[in-house]
Amino acid sequence: MSHSNTLLTLDSLPTDYTVELNGSMIISLEGEQADSYLQGQLTVNINTLDEKTVRHYAHCDNKGKTWSTGFIARYGTKILLLTNKDAGARTLAELNKYGVFSKVDIIDYSEEMHAYFVSRSAAKNLLSPLFSDSPFVNDESPEPLISHQAKEGVCFETDTKQPGYVVILNASASEKLRENIAKLAMASYSHTVYDAIKISNAHAQISGDTVGEYVPQMLNLHALNAIDFDKGCYMGQEVVARTRFLGKNKRAAYAFHVAKSVELSAGDTVEKQLGDNWRRAGQIISVAKLEGETWFMAVLSNETTEEDLHRLADHSAITCYPCPLPYSIEQQASNIVKKRR
């Protein structure tokens, strides 16, 4: 697939387009103990993950600090994790470190399968031949995070305001998809566009030095139903639970939009205006730079409002306000505590 298409802004996305998620890693787990092993590793309940369900997940260290975020789905006898390369490399290494004691094969599956984001409008033309049971075949309104499986792969509607499907395909189906995109002369973009889509929806991913820095609630993952507080033990569970039940969390992730293209990196400092002064507010966790705008997410105080003016420490002339969050980050600990009793 050619990545000759560049994008000025998210608002200028065409109706029909695809994004090759070449910045992603696909991790495959397979074996008779794959489920029980992952149950002790991730924040979501693997025992309730059926073949139709896709979930946001977090993978943490034993101090509850997040190694990776992304999607988890079943594909035949495999469980697939879709995350970004930085975080995925850490998760793959850590899963393999402990997986030697279980009957499970854990591999980087990014050569065998490839991931794409396909706009909902483009899905009927491109994906109908592969996924005969999917909503786009009959022009139905799709439910987000419902998995559709075929021999060639798996796809699901995302929970983003830009409607579309994440598709994970084997090598031969992936090649056919590329050929069809070329035949239709459809716009195709590199993964930065999907990163921008995720940030604009306040879906956090971590990269660089921010891997292993934040508990999942600081990344708003509870708001994406990525934490099952009533499941059994898993890596970091004690800290994640304590953060919830004792109201210990004082931070959250916020998306920002800058109306020009700026060089930023994960780990860069964001400052907040206080009167006539500027104080360190937090750090950037992910960036997506398009031709005419830049999107980034930063972890800040969870009392941050849309009226709080911020600036980039390394680009002090650039000021911006947090985008409105598309979900609530409130944590109703009391309801959960009652349920647990």
Amino acid identity at 276: D
Going through 120-274 in order, the beta strands assigned E by DSSP cover 147-150, 153-157, 164-170, 187-189, 251-258, 269-274
When pLDDT is averaged across residues 116-127 and rounded to a whole number, the result is 95
pLDDT in tens, 163-182: 999 999 999 999 999 999 99
CATH topology of domain 21-200: Gyrase A; domain 2 (3.30.1360)
Instruction: Count the Cβ atoms, other than its own, within 10 Å of residue 238.
Output: 13
Region for residue 202 given its phi and psi (left: phi exceeds 0; alpha: psi -120 to 50; beta: otherwise):
left
Please count the other Cβ atoms lying within 10 Å of the Cβ belonging to residue 33.
Answer: 14
To which residue do tokens 């309104």 refer?
Answer: 141
Predicted pLDDT at 338: 43
Other Cβ atoms less than 10 A from the Cβ of 177: the count is 24
Q: What pLDDT shows up at residue 251?
A: 98
Segment among 197-206, 244-253, 314-323 with least mean pLDDT? 244-253
- Give pLDDT tens digits for 50-104: 999 999 999 999 999 999 999 999 999 999 999 999 999 999 999 999 898 899 9
Kindly state the average pLDDT of the residues 142-147: 93
| Of 227, 249, 217, 205, the residue nearest 91 (C-alpha) | 205
Distance CA 98, CA 39 (A): 13
pLDDT for residue 132: 83
Mean of pLDDT values over 266-272: 98
Residue range 205-258, pLDDT digits in tens? 999 999 999 999 999 999 999 999 999 899 999 999 999 988 889 999 999 999
Partners of 319 in the β-ladder? 311
* Average pLDDT of the chain, as a whole number: 94
